[in-house]
Amino acid sequence: MKHISILPLYDATLTSIDSAHQIFSRVNDFMNYQGKPDFYKIEIVGCAKDTRLNSGLYAVFADKTIDQIQKTDVIVIPLLCGDFGEAISKNQEYVEWVCKQHRNRAEIICLCVGSFFLASTGLLDNKKCAVHWAAKNEFKTKFPNITVIDNTIITDEQGIYTCGGGFSYLNLILYIIEKHLGREISILASKMFEIDIERKSQNPFAIFIGQKKHGQETVLKAQAFIEANPTTAYSVDEICEMVAVSRRTFERHFKQCTGNSILEYIQRVKVEFVKKQLEAGKKTINEIIYEAGYTDIDAFRKVFKRFTDLSPIGYRKRFAGDS
């Protein structure tokens, strides 16, 4: 039997704590239906017997405190909300215990932006971490020694599992169940809770947000121009001329500051413009692509799919409703 410790971190969301508890508990029911014993022993393990969440709106009562658990097999770090720096500070009491348990071979399941707390322990240094697209820039700034993955929803790094994108933590829990008990039980859980087991990417849901906390005026000027002109056709050379910096130098500088080449940045801004037009559903796809400044329809379709994992028509079908 595997012992699971779900941590009721300060500033955690109640839904992520409860969902993990419910799904792992339900797996025990599946095992019992097959005449087998429970596979998991699930406990809420906190620094104190009760933790207040959401400004005191909810209280989570722990089964055990961390000083009562000498060894656990699995640690679940819930999704955090609010100010991540403040949440990290409030949860420092957990850090030593989590690191000790990981040294004793405990697996760590980190749900969405609970990764900010996990990263603060140092356990993610020089590893990959899936991060919600909306938190990617802040995470990169706070933790430069961690490789941020924002195109897939799950990472598996030597017993540390992370996921990016809101409720994609449900997919991570299914992934863990499959590792522990096999595909059949994982599929059963996906059907019971109606979770799309094959969801692999957060790209269709991501909204591009350019990194602007670098403070470099010439780069900010170029970003502002690109974002203000999603329907204008212009070249990378014209951008460099506008800021009066040689192309080679500015390309390197821009990439260092934003994480994107100038061309990628232009493409991402235009893709965001097209996505909004597709969601509105009032124009033909070709009309929208031309409006974004592209004359080569096939070339743009390839760019669009690279950033969204969907074709323009596939995106419209998913997000435009009955328009």
Write the pLDDT tens digit of every residue in 39-73.
999 999 999 998 888 777 888 999 999 999 999 99
Contacts for 288-291 with beta carbons within 8 Å, 24 or more apart?
Answer: 288/312, 291/231
The reported pTM is: 0.81
Amino acid (one-letter) located at 176: I
Structure tokens belonging to residue 74: 């699995």
Task: Quote the pLDDT of residue 322.
Answer: 58
CA distance 268 to 263: 9
Is the pLDDT score of 323 beyond 60?
no
Structure tokens belonging to residue 248: 């080679």
Task: Quote the pLDDT of residue 202.
Answer: 82
Tens of pLDDT, residue by residue over 160-187, are 999 987 788 999 999 999 999 999 999 9
Beta strand pairing call for 128-130 and 64-65: unpaired
DSSP code per residue over 299-315: HHHHHHHHHHSS-HHHH
Q: What is the mean predicted confidence (pLDDT) over 257-284?
A: 94
Per CATH, 2-204 and 217-319 having the same topology is answered no
SS3 content of the chain, % helix, strand, coil (to 5): 50, 15, 35
For 141, phi then psi, to 5°, come to -65, -45
* CB 251 within 8 Å of CB 261: yes
Q: What is the mean predicted confidence (pLDDT) over 270-280?
A: 94
Residue 281 pLDDT level (bands cut at 50, 70, 90):
confident
DSSP code per residue over 126-171: TSEEE--GGGHHHHHHH-TTSEEE-SBSEEEETTEEEE-SGGGHHH
Amino acid (one-letter) located at 175: Y
Structure tokens belonging to residue 268: 């991402």
Beta strand pairing call for 74-77 and 2-6: parallel
* CB 3 within 8 Å of CB 41: yes
Contacts for 293-298 with beta carbons within 8 Å, 24 or more apart?
Answer: 293/230, 293/231, 293/232, 293/233, 293/234, 294/233, 294/270
Task: Quote the pLDDT of residue 40.
Answer: 98
Task: Quote the pLDDT of residue 52.
Answer: 85
Task: Quote the pLDDT of residue 205.
Answer: 82
The domains of the chain are located at: 2-204, 217-319
CATH 1.10.10.60 is the classification of domain 217-319: yes
CA distance 34 to 74: 24
- Domain 2-204: CATH superfamily, name plus number: Class I glutamine amidotransferase (GATase) domain (3.40.50.880)
Structure tokens belonging to residue 13: 């969301």
